[in-house]
Amino acid sequence: MNLSKYIGDKAFMKTAILVGVPLMLQQLITGSVNLVDNLMVGQLGDAAIGGVAAVNRFYIIAQYGTNGIVAAGSIFIAQYYGARNQEKMKESFRFLINISCAIMLMFFLAAIFFPTAILGFFTPDQEIIQMGVYYIRLVAWSYLPIALTLCFSGAMRAVGETKIPLFVSAIAVLVNTVLNYCLIFGKFGFPQLGIRGAAYATVVARIIEVCILLYFLKDRDFGFKTKVKEIVKVPLTLSKKIMIKAAPLALNEILWSAGMATLFKFYSTRGAEVMSGYSISSTIGDIFFVLFGGMAAASTVLISQPLGANKLDEAKQHGYQLIGFSFVLSFIFASLMFISSFYIPYLYSNVSIEALKIAEIMLRIQSVMFAIYVLNTQNYFILRAGGDTKSTLIMDSAFMWCINIPLVGILAYFSPLSAFLLYIAGQSTDLIKLIFGYWLVKKEKWVVNLTHEPL
């Protein structure tokens, strides 16, 4: 059997690894530091973990909505890069900066003026809400720097530059970790601020991150680089063209992350320990879900760039090979996740044993389902790389809100199912999603050169 037909030859795998690994390392660093942060906050008790977890669910909606715009803009940057059209690269870059900052500004204002209402959606527990309010009003000041960071990093990766975002992210998370330790616990002469200290650390780290990226953007010769005075200079025709692709993608990301926040609310009906355990398992799980980021970067380079160069057959072949390659990699990551479930949750101190047991079992459920998660995600990245954003909307968030959320909601409020059975029921819907998503890929509406479409 010729395996290269299904998972690519050595050159293909080398490219996928060289492009994907830096982003995977970047997300691994971020995930590891988030785990360390979570461990530090965990020493403040279950309410602190619950409050930070609820705030992070709100932030994820903002982040994913912004990511939808960045992903769409990056598709155009990558394809115009393949077509060697620098002016259109610049205009695409300006577009994603303007819209991304506008989205983050809305979430910033909501966090500043309506924190209690936001946190009250996730839990009725007043202690958790109070802790969350302390945190969200401070950490919200990091939202606009994050928007710019997402834009700069996304554009760099679209043209194959993955090392700079990795380097800058490593610095930012190091700063975040050190400041967390100093400000949460009052070390090295710093005040002991508890949960507020974690928020201050995040804001400072994010500001430093975007400043360093700005330095590299100014210092290096990127084709998409633009002058500040021209930042709003985007032709209406190109704006419409990108928005046609970006709107379904951004809507999908917002609906998907809002769906995850709703699921978090449903699982929390089983008690504060479940809320903490779910948060812990999600934080640990993120370390292994870095594979998704790597495959996303590989999909942009191996699919979007050939499409922009009008190499449609090559792009199509790469898409199917990425499915096979990601499937093989999923078993390695799933095994590591399963092993981690026996040890990592128990690094948390001052957290109830019930919450730790819940985190342990949820991690094992995730590890069993990991290959299905990976295949679903790769199908999504293939559709997105070719600009078939309507299919991504149908496959991802529409499926979640029509199938997954109604099922879990009904079982959460109208059945006596335990937290584990409720969680398994929710995760099992991904099997149906896998069949549907692969069918959309096989339709091959994503095999399109966007640079040849009329403006």
Q: What is the pLDDT of residue 296?
A: 78
Q: What is the pLDDT of residue 208?
A: 95
What is the DSSP-derived secondary structure letter of residue 222?
-
Q: Token pair of 100, please?
A: 């991304």
| Distance from C-alpha of 54 to C-alpha of 48, rounded to nearest angstrom | 10
pTM of this prediction? 0.71
The number of domains in the chain is: 1
Q: Token pair of 283, please?
A: 């934080």
At residue 336, what is the residue type? L
Q: Token pair of 422, please?
A: 């409720």
Residue spans of the chain under pLDDT 70: 1-9, 23, 26-27, 30-35, 37-38, 46, 452-455
* List of residues 6+ apart from 193 with CB closer than 8 A: 183, 184, 186, 200
Contact status, residue 35 vs residue 297, Cβ threshold 8 Å: no
| Distance from C-alpha of 88 to C-alpha of 155, rounded to nearest angstrom | 13
Range(s) of the domain holding residue 261: 4-452
Instruction: Work out the angle between the directed axes of helices 86-113 and 46-82 (0-180°, nearest 10).
Output: 160
In 83-114, which residue ranges form alpha helices assigned H by DSSP? 86-113
Q: What is the pLDDT of residue 82?
A: 78
| Distance from C-alpha of 74 to C-alpha of 155, rounded to nearest angstrom | 6
Q: How far is CA 441 from the centre of its chain?
A: 22
Q: How far is CA 313 from the centre of its chain?
A: 29
Q: What is the pLDDT of residue 268?
A: 81
Give 237-247 pLDDT, tens digit per residue: 888 888 887 77
Of the candidates 121, 155, 119, which has an alpha carbon nearest to the alpha carbon of residue 137? 119
